[in-house]
Amino acid sequence: MSKVWLLLASLFFYGWWNPLYVTLIISSILVNYGFHKLIKAQHNGGRKKMLLVIGIGLNVSVLGYYKYADFFISNFNALTGDNYNLLHIILPLGISFFTFQQIAFLVDTYKDVVEEMELLNYALFVSFFPQLIAGPIVHHAEMMPQFFDQSKKRINAENISKGLFVFNMGLAKKVIVADAFGKIANAGYGHASILGTIDSWVTSLAYTVQLYFDFSGYTDMAIGIALFFNIIIPNNFWSPYKSSSIKEFWRKWHMTLSRFLRDYIYIPLGGNRKGAFRTRLNLMATFLIGGIWHGAGWTFLFWGFLHGLGLVIHSFFEKLKIRIPYVVGLGITFLFVNMAWVFFRAESWGDALHVLNSMIHLETTGEGFKLISQLYDFPIWVAGVVLLFAPNSQEFAERFQINARHAVVIVVLTVLNVTFLNSSIDQEFLYFDF
């Protein structure tokens, strides 16, 4: 009965934004569950593989329609000179996340590493509301045993306390830090063509800080809420901006997406088993797919290309056994990631190129400085830098104990969050758009 209640709560949560899209996620669950049953029942290898290909194709087609239809139409119009109307489709929340999650499940079903599953358990695995909207991208092997564990049906005061602590840390990341830097980033990218050098650096760095605290904040909130139900979902970030190489960065940034790309794209392409050239080609293909997954635009594809290129270059350094001092590697990696984020955030190629050009060529314009100079809030930047290089929220969570000191921290964070939730800054989570 508890699983039924949790499933209904998850569907209600998803439908709060737009009740019509509840039918989409239910249909997706039913269709993928049907393919799970068909694949499990099939003993002919060729037919089994055909069912997998059809199942993946349907998932990708649905995702493609909602996420990329207008992108393809606009590019087709640009190439042919036609003027087909855009569909202006509203992207359903979380579709990228629950689509990838179900593709992974079908692949594992095909590999016979998944036992036959009841519909209720599968539906709960897909729709569990804390991570439904923006991840982490959970794996059936880490979730299903928890749903079957009878001990998790009891109230656990320690998990509730720790969940409240982690949730409030995540919410503070969002409403106190990310939204403050988001105000700066939005002002800069909203007027990219008139920014000078200082403005462009401030704008790019503000978005770099905003994106991390926004997305990792959502992850912390998801982890915290899941703990209320005694469910442990995987961490998604581990101080990625402290990385001294691009390879290390992708082991610490959006870790569940990196895992999915490795296990279900990079390794099936051949991974590193077919020689150095093929390995680098596979890396590039994987990150091009990762780039376009993030958004329907050439800037996202190019962002993926840059990270693929960075990993390819890193592989040459590894082969030559060239070791870069940690501090130098830290600086190079951070600068590379920060400049690549410009393509991720900019509204167009032109805006991205202008911001980067201004950063590199020391262009100054009084107009741009007047626009966002009032946003160079010194305390905000000091807080951002300290928080970026302080222990991360999961390290704090590992030290959590039920005592008076942590109770005071929870109360203070709650009061601060409520105060900032009622402030004039009002921004959605960034990864709701992906």
Indicate if the alpha-carbon torsion angle 61, 257, 253, 395 is positive or negative.
positive
Number of Cβ within 10 Å of residue 357's Cβ equals: 13
**Structure tokens of 41?**
């029942």
Work out the end-to-end distance of the chain between its first and last CA atoms, rounded to an integer number of angstroms.
Answer: 33
Q: Would you put residue 362 in left (φ > 0), alpha (ψ -120 to 50) or beta?
A: left
Q: Which residues are catalytic?
A: 294
Q: Are 130 and 10 in contact (CB under 8 A)?
A: no
Q: Kindly report the CA angle at 388 between 387 and 390, in degrees rounded to 5?
A: 60
- Sequence-ordered alpha helix ranges (H) in 139-254: 140-148, 157-172, 179-189, 197-228, 246-252
Buried b (16+ CB within 10 A) or exposed e, 195-213: bbbbbbbbbbbbbbbbbbb
DSSP SS3 for 48: helix
